[in-house]
Amino acid sequence: MGQDRRAAIVGFAEWAPQRKWPRPMFTLEAFARLTKEALDDAGMEPGEVDGILTTSPVPESRMFAPAAVAEYLGIPAAFAEIVDLGGASGAGMLWRAVAAVEAGACETAICVGSTTPPPPNPKRKSDPTRAYLGAEAWGAPHGQFDVPYGLINPNSHFAMVAQRYMHEYQLKPETLAKIAVQQRDNAQANPQSQFQGKPITVDDVLNSPLIVDPLHLLEIVMPSGGGVGLVVTTMERAKKLTRNRPVVLTGFGEQVTHKSITYAPSLTAVPIKAAADRAFKMAGVDRKDIQMASLYDCYTITVLLTIEDAGFCAKGEGERFVDEHDLRYNGDWPLNTNGGQLSLGQAGVAGGMYHITDALEQLMGRAGERQVAGCERAFVSGTGGFMSEQAALILEGA
């Protein structure tokens, strides 16, 4: 038999998100540190790395960013990519890394993402609203057709998604609040969570300030600093490593449909459907074979729509599904067992990677008190834009 060319995830590093990051840190520095920590976790040396994938942007390098990272890390890269899928970047990077290793493009790839405040540049003034979504770019559509009406940030877009969903289907605010509450319960057992020691109730969520009808503060992620690194190598190499149970990606899918809200094919039928269908077909398993799910949770409505359109329940049945299941790590449908971004904080575009580490902790048996017994197969979703780009991953312990 030839070498085992399947790829395996063999290590990771995860920084506890913090609302106020302790010190300014350029992206390149964060990438370097996360890479080192992830390699240490895997028991591998930097010299073995020949593939680099990063989230976007790398502010210090507007073009040729992977080359800048390779140079900064002192690692020549046979495969270098910057993945620009918003919150879906984490999942997008991982399957690309796996595909690159399995295709023989590289032997060992690093996936890194982070959000940290850079040291201030005294010379540059910018209008933060223009900067959102690249609206500062001269002539960007958002700057013309959305911003002048006060449609500026994701809260507003997701509120429109929620309003439309509530118009088309049955959904009460208490059900959405339950998602936030049970994820917060999970976080009580996660030392990485800045909300440990701060459980909440459904009343707490519904009484928290209304940010954009119908979304309350406690069902919206809190922006934070943070970062994650992953190591993907060949199974051949993995067999000689001793730190972690290797995890394999048995199915993946990705779908990007639009960027502007005016071009959304639908506000209530989201691209995770195509992504999940492809992932499950590739893996050759059914929805019922999934033992834990880590679903991108910028808002509670994001989670509910993902549960539906990823096929875990019928369309329009999301409310009933959430009402009838216990989503805690010791419940009958473990979801976001690390607390999710709702109870970790959202580390910018790196936030989606915390759903990958959530699954890795479970599959590698590293979830401690939150361990789902006998967890062999997990489903992870990434979401970017306004549910305009999504990715699905099916991960299994090897």
Which positions touch another protein (CB under 8 A)?
127, 129-130, 135, 138-139, 141, 143-153, 155-157, 159-161, 163-164, 167, 209-213, 260-264, 267
Residue among 2 and 149 whose Cβ is closer to another protein: 149
Shortest spacing between CB 306 and another protein, in angstroms: 19
Shortest spacing between CB 349 and another protein, in angstroms: 19
Residue among 208 and 330 whose Cβ is closer to another protein: 208
Neighbours of 5 (CB within 10 A): 12
Residue among 158 and 195 whose Cβ is closer to another protein: 158
Q: Which residues of 355-379 are buried (b: 16+ CB within 10 A; e: fewer)?
A: bbbbbbbbbbeebeebbbeebebbb
Residue among 156 and 182 whose Cβ is closer to another protein: 156
3-state per-residue secondary structure call for 311-379: HHCCCCCHHHHHHHCCCCCCCCCCECCCCCHHHCCECHHHHHHHHHHHHHHHHCCCCHHHCCCCCCEEE
Residue among 143 and 397 whose Cβ is closer to another protein: 143
Residue among 309 and 358 whose Cβ is closer to another protein: 309
Residue among 229 and 345 whose Cβ is closer to another protein: 345
Cα separation, 94 vs 34, in Å, equals: 15
Shortest spacing between CB 140 and another protein, in angstroms: 9
Give the containing element (helix H, strand E) for 7: strand 7-18
Shortest spacing between CB 377 and another protein, in angstroms: 36
The torsion angles phi and psi of 83, rounded to 5 degrees, stand at: -110, 125
309 DSSP assignment: I
In the structure encoding, which two tokens stand for residue 259, read together?
A: 């960027």
Q: Collect contacts of 119-123 with beta carbons under 8 A, ≥24 apart.
A: 119/24, 119/26, 120/24
The residue with tokens 């992977």 is 66
Shortest spacing between CB 208 and another protein, in angstroms: 12
Residue among 144 and 207 whose Cβ is closer to another protein: 144
The torsion angles phi and psi of 380, rounded to 5 degrees, stand at: -125, 140
Shortest spacing between CB 126 and another protein, in angstroms: 11
Shortest spacing between CB 221 and another protein, in angstroms: 14
Edge-to-edge strand list for the sheet holding 389-397: 79-83, 51-55, 109-115, 225-234, 7-18, 247-256, 389-397, 377-384, 292-294
The residue with tokens 């917060």 is 184
Shortest spacing between CB 155 and another protein, in angstroms: 7
